[in-house]
Structure formats: structure tokens, C-alpha cells
A and B are shown apart, each in its own frame.
Chain A
């Protein structure tokens, strides 16, 4: 009852995960948002807010934002890609089970879609205060968030968690 129906196959999940991982690089490096006020221009990247929080002495908060907004979504994408890797690169069933469980945990802490909504809310809020322009990094981040959702949607946790090793019996099986 708590499980979701997965409509897309493992190849789609691998494609979504890899595409998301590739987009994570420009999302982190390219300008995210530009803001200007009376000729003063300022460009922020994905980690600018984290650095400012850190500099303001709110280090735990900075780490939380860094984890939930960037590191854990990337870790989740990498985990899903590893679980769907072609047979010759595939890990054993025990490692697959561990990765599947890691993905379950990461799902609860990876919030890229919430970060996208927060940026949109901030843009509306800032509209009257500063001139705001969206940078390519933001669009790459949005695409990465969508790809992560699609990869999660097409991943079948149950097939990994019912492996023979998960039931305590010897032997290997691929989902």
C-alpha cells in the first residue's frame, strides 16, 4: 500500500540519473541568479547562500542547506545510476541491497524541488527590491531536479529489497 507504481523501466532510470549527474556540474558552476540595484551587480552561484550562512556563523544551517540542496541529491543520483549500471559494471546483490537502502534514506533528505520553489518564491519577493535575472545554472538545477524525480519514479525499490540476500539466503539474483 505504501509502495508507488513505477511506470518506467531501469534503462530510463539510468538515463535520467546520468543526465541529472551531468547537469549537476553546470548547476554548481554556472551563474545561478543575477541581481542588480542602482548599477551594483551581483551574481550568485548555487553555493553562495551556503557560504554567506557559514560566514554569518550559522554553520549547522549552512551544512544542512548544502546537504539537502546539493550533496544528497547528487549522492542519490549517483546511487540510482550505480544500481542501474550495465551488467559488467554492476555490483553484487549484497552491495545492491546496501545501495538500495542508502537510496531509501537519501530520498528523505534530498530536496532539490523544494530549493527550486524557494528560489521562485524569492524571485517574486525580490521583484520590487532588486532587478533579478535567472542564470543558466538555475535552469540546469531545475532540469536536474526534474530528472531526479523521474529517476526516483522509475526506480523499483521492492525488486532490490526482495533479493535472496535480503531474505537471508545465499545466492545472487538480478532484479
Chain B
């Protein structure tokens, strides 16, 4: 049996689809597992990304809660969904306005970096709040899953080739048709 594999190309829509799918899978543990354990004056608290944002809201820090919710929950989901929509549009050949879809891709590319907010936040809090039994913050496994999801979405966006939005076979002139 003579099997031959096509050479791997990073900049391809199948790579983007694989990375996007992996990111979607990683978002599940990222949102279900705790990201930080906080101990303040003998009271222990374990927070997921969502419960952390809710806690900020309850303490009246509405703006911060919205920022954390947007960066850590909304943007990763939007990014994976948006990339999936672009990939499906290219695959089905029923893409709409190429200009508009390229803008969507540019937005997805730009917003992705803001998802790193929670990762930096966890790193900063664990480094600063180490007062022994008085107060301490410990990172948990959820933050690793979340960081992996963010990295995968960034790779997925980079792997997507936006030129495919402009070379839609459904709208390209047929080779048999007269010029």
C-alpha cells in the first residue's frame, strides 16, 4: 500500500478548522473548571471564569465585571463561532459580501488578544497576593485550559487564509462560459 500525504501547510483553512475545533473543545474545561482559589482570613473560595465575573458584579464593580465577562467569555466564543462561520461560508461556496466578511475576519483577528486578560490577571494575582493565612491566591487547572483555548484561537485565526473569501468558486466565472 502506497500512502502519500499532502505536505502540511500552516496557512490553510483545514488547519484553521482543526485549530478552531480544538479551541472550542478547550473552552469547555476552561469554563467549567476553577481558575483561581482565593483564601481570605480563613475563608476559602474557588472561582470559575463566570463566577469570578459574577462576584465582581455583586461587589458593585460593574464595569470591571463587564470587561472580564467580555474578554474571557464573550470574545473566545465569538471568535470560535465567527471563524466557524467564515470557514463554512468558504466551504459551501455561498459566501456573501467578501468585503464584509474580510472585515469580520479583521475584527476576529483584533479582538482575540483581549482574551489573554484573564491569564495575565491570574498570573498577576497569584504573584502579588501571597500573605500566607491572611490572604493568598492559587492558580487552578481551569486557567491552563483557558490559556490553551486562547492560544489555539490565535493560531486558528492566523491559519485562516482570508484570500479564500475572495476566490469563492460559486462566484468565479465558469471555465466553459464565454469571456
**Does B143 sit at the interface, judged by CB under 8 A?**
yes
Contact B120 A126 (CB under 8 A): no
Question: What is the interface residue range for chain A against chain B?
Answer: 35 or more
Bound Cα distance from A40 to B136, whole angstroms: 13
**A50 is contacted by which of B40, B125, B127 (Cβ under 8 Å)?**
B127
For B30, the chain A residues whose CB sits under 8 A away are none
- Surface stretch bound by A, among B13-21, B110-118, B169-177: B110-118
SS of A interface (majority): helix
Say whether, besides A2-B106, A121-B68, A111 and B116 are in contact (CB < 8 Å). Answer: yes
Contact B134 A118 (CB under 8 A): no
CB distance from A126 to the nearest CB of B (A): 7
Say whether, besides A49-B126, A129-B129, A129-B135, A65 and B144 are in contact (CB < 8 Å). Answer: no
Contact A65 B123 (CB under 8 A): yes
Contact B123 A50 (CB under 8 A): yes
**A1 is contacted by which of B64, B102, B123, B151 (Cβ under 8 Å)?**
B102
Contact B64 A121 (CB under 8 A): yes
**Does A15 sit at the interface, judged by CB under 8 A?**
no
The residues in A between 22 and 52 inclusive whose CB is less than 8 angstroms from any CB of B are 33, 35, 37-38, 40, 42, 44, 48-52
**Does B73 sit at the interface, judged by CB under 8 A?**
no
For B59, the chain A residues whose CB sits under 8 A away are 128
Bound Cα distance from A117 to B119, whole angstroms: 12
Bound Cα distance from A33 to B144, whole angstroms: 24
Say whether, besides A2-B162, A117-B117, A53 and B139 are in contact (CB < 8 Å). Answer: yes
The residues in A between 122 and 162 inclusive whose CB is less than 8 angstroms from any CB of B are 122, 124-126, 128-130
Contact A68 B116 (CB under 8 A): yes
SS of B interface (majority): helix
For A60, the chain B residues whose CB sits under 8 A away are 144, 147
Bound Cα distance from A56 to B137, whole angstroms: 11
Bound Cα distance from A56 to B113, whole angstroms: 25
CB distance from B55 to the nearest CB of A (A): 9
Contact B139 A40 (CB under 8 A): no
CB distance from B128 to the nearest CB of A (A): 5
Bound Cα distance from A122 to B129, whole angstroms: 10
Say whether, besides A44-B127, A114-B113, A121-B68, A69 and B139 are in contact (CB < 8 Å). Answer: no
**Does B138 sit at the interface, judged by CB under 8 A?**
yes
Bound Cα distance from A44 to B127, whole angstroms: 7
For B102, the chain A residues whose CB sits under 8 A away are 1-2
**Does A115 sit at the interface, judged by CB under 8 A?**
yes
For A65, the chain B residues whose CB sits under 8 A away are 119-120, 123
Supply 7 further A-B pairs (C-beta < 8 A) apart from A53-B139, A118-B124, A122-B121: A1-B102, A44-B124, A52-B123, A53-B123, A56-B126, A60-B144, A117-B114
Question: 5 tightest CB-CB pairs across the interface, nearest first?
Answer: A49-B127, A118-B120, A49-B123, A48-B127, A118-B121
